[in-house]
Structure 1
């Protein structure tokens, strides 16, 4: 049976750095002195230097640029409708930037018969699948699939579907788009856990080409692990003032416990050369290291992505895979892993060809 391969990955982020400004803003927003002190201490230990947004925090913003302070404070915190208008404005530009970096040849474009999109931070139709088809000049008969509202592990599920497609249609190539604008969903709150959730999320987009061509990373197998008794630890709901997230502080501990008990199933008991772990936060990566008994250097790529970009939901693990692809050597084995609602770990075994 034909195998499927990630031939190439390209990534992009919006132009505006917002992490430092958010920390300052959140400190001002929190009224309780004790909460403020705790937030400052935990933000300093977050492992994040930069996050990016389509919203500008430069005062005054350049002409034509959306001012984050006006967006969130001009008339109070914005409605879901206003946030979705910004998604429709920012998302196509970010997508085109990533597609330009993927640099598809005319032959590669002609071979793309499927477009898969993952996103949990914005919705409109015709959507990003049509944006990509029009921008690249793909055939109007290309098959389109939206993998929506699955959170941070959606990219693994998209790769799983791409593998099924290529194995059943060996001549077809698949374009995967993972695009998230997490910073559009900042909420006004005095709940420290909620503020800490907003601390880690940024905007980003990854695009990748998957085909039967023996180049890049071969997609070997997939495994999903649902952790019992954790359904309420990560939730993501559409409300009147945007999308509301709950990210419990229990998540890292439950991840570590599950990996200690079931890690051998996820890895097949094999030695792994390359680890592409979704950097949901510094404590999540610490929990993976402890749960799988990994050395501190193994997750260097994941920590680097967290430091430079934060958590970009579904796009983030693809940023890590792109980083690994730059120096991977033929024959190396790898494991990609993302976490999200359920609480679920989605994993993918791969090797370098």
Structure 2
């Protein structure tokens, strides 16, 4: 029994905060050497835009903004915005999906989000706003980070393979810009430089169409748990993204056992569709170097990074959406990384 990813709808907020953040972050650095390094890294990040649910009428870090210096917001204030803005952005992604495929008869809802908490859960809020049947089975995947899209699509695949008539709506929604931290630490500022807000929605069923979702794979790198952390604090969720991450990813991809699991024994050169989580320029370069990929193999990932930055779990969905709109793929591999340090993915191919 196969499971098929038919289409993906996407949505981002209307407020581009990338340049405002760069200006604010540079002011937090007191040393000339650190400021120069930040400028160089920001210029090489490959990011042109990052979008935020914070009000478009102001600079979020300005005197009247959400992050005004004299009243740095606590976690409760950030979660208040999440409770309202996350379902709204998710619904916009569903509306985009509905313009591509019929969404009648949804039997299961799988939602992934790691940038907020609310109860009743965001899955229940979304189900109610979509007027799904009360009998709709729901799964909420929380706090897994950037590879949560893999977990969500893998869950949908398992559901469809066990219940062939299932119609599974998969949603990822992340509001990363709710978690700006007051810090002058260069590594922390470079990590925050990557992240933006976005949502995606997909339909997975047993009927042929779109991408045939193949075998999943996963691994956790040894002695790497401290490299990516997402800590709940009194002032939002603090991200720690070590500069060692690209090197550790490169080492993992060079392991023949992992390469075998990821490609199913194929040479990486035989893969004609790479959906790699756009976690940052250096991560994409590490993947390219380790697998010796042609220069244009990760063009979809680079385009998503440029247009949106890293939207945590939604990022991979945006990459897959671009590939769905492109040429036929006979041998595809989706790959994402996140806290753990873990690497997860699945193989896929265009439906016959």
TM range (shorter): over 0.9
Q: Say whether 1:127 aligns with 2:121.
A: yes
Q: Is contact 1:109–1:136 with CA below 8 Å preserved after alignment? A: no
Aligned mate of 1:84, from 79, 82, 97: 79
Once the 2 structures are TM-superposed, how far is the Cα of residue 204 of structure 1 from its aligned partner?
0.1
Q: Tell me, yes or no, if the aligned pair for 1:84 and 1:122 is still in contact at 8 Å.
A: yes
Aligned residue for 1:78, secondary structure, equals coil
SS at match of 2:108: strand
Q: Which runs of 5+ in 1 are unaligned?
A: none
C-alpha contact 2:63 2:69 (8 A) present in aligned 1: no
Partner of 2:186: 192
- What runs of 5+ residues in structure 2 fail to find an aligned partner? none
Aligned residue in 2 for 1:5: 4
Give the secondary structure class of the aligned counterpart of 1:70: coil
Alpha carbons of structure 1 residues 164 and 39: separation in structure 2 relative to 1, 3 Å: same
For residue 160 of structure 1, what is the aligned residue in structure 2?
154
Q: Distance in 2 between matches of 1:325 and 1:105?
A: 12
Query: CA-to-partner distance for each residue in 1:32-57, whole Å, 9 max, x for gaps?
Result: 22211111110000000000001146
- In the TM superposition, residue 265 of structure 1 has moved relative to its aligned partner by 2.9
8 Å CA contact retained: 2:52, 2:197: yes
* Cα RMSD (Å): 1.8
Take 2:205 and 2:15, find their aligned partners in 1: how far apart are those partners? Answer: 34
Are 2:142 and 1:148 aligned?
Answer: yes
Task: Answer yes or no: is 1:20 the counterpart of 2:19.
Answer: yes
Is the contact made by 2:331 and 2:348 (CA closer than 8 Å) also made in structure 1? yes
| Cα drift, residue 74 of structure 1 | 5.6
The offset of 1:10, in angstroms, is 0.4
Corresponding residue of 2:261: 265
In 2, Cα distance between equivalents of 1:255 and 1:319: 21
Cα distance in 2, alignment partners of residues 68 and 86 from structure 1: 19
Out of 326, 329, 337, the position equivalent to 1:339 is 337
Q: SS where residue 204 of structure 1 aligns? A: strand
**Residue-pair matches, total:** 346
Q: Say which is worse superposed, 158-167 or 98-107, in terms of deviation.
A: 98-107
Q: Which residue of 2 aligns with 1:203?
A: 197
- TM, length-normalised to structure 1: 0.94
Counterpart check, 1:350 vs 2:344: no
Per the TM alignment, residue 224 of structure 1 is displaced from its structure 2 partner at its CA by 0.3
SS in 2 for 1:108: coil
Counterpart in the other structure of 2:51:
52
Q: Which runs of 4+ in 1 moved over 4 A?
A: 57-61, 66-69, 104-107
Change (3 A) 1:57 1:190: farther
Q: Which segment drifts farther, 3-12 or 31-40?
A: 31-40
Mapping of residues 296-307 of structure 1, within 5 Å: 296-307=295-306
Separation in structure 2 between the aligned mates of residue 106 and residue 346 of structure 1, nearest angstrom: 27
Partner of 2:287: 288
1:116-153, Cα deviation, whole Å (9 max, x unpaired): 11111011022321232223221111011111000000
Q: What is the Cα deviation at residue 69 of structure 1?
A: 5.0
C-alpha distance in 2, partners of 1:67/1:96? 29
- Matched-pair contact (CA < 8 Å) for 1:52–1:204: yes
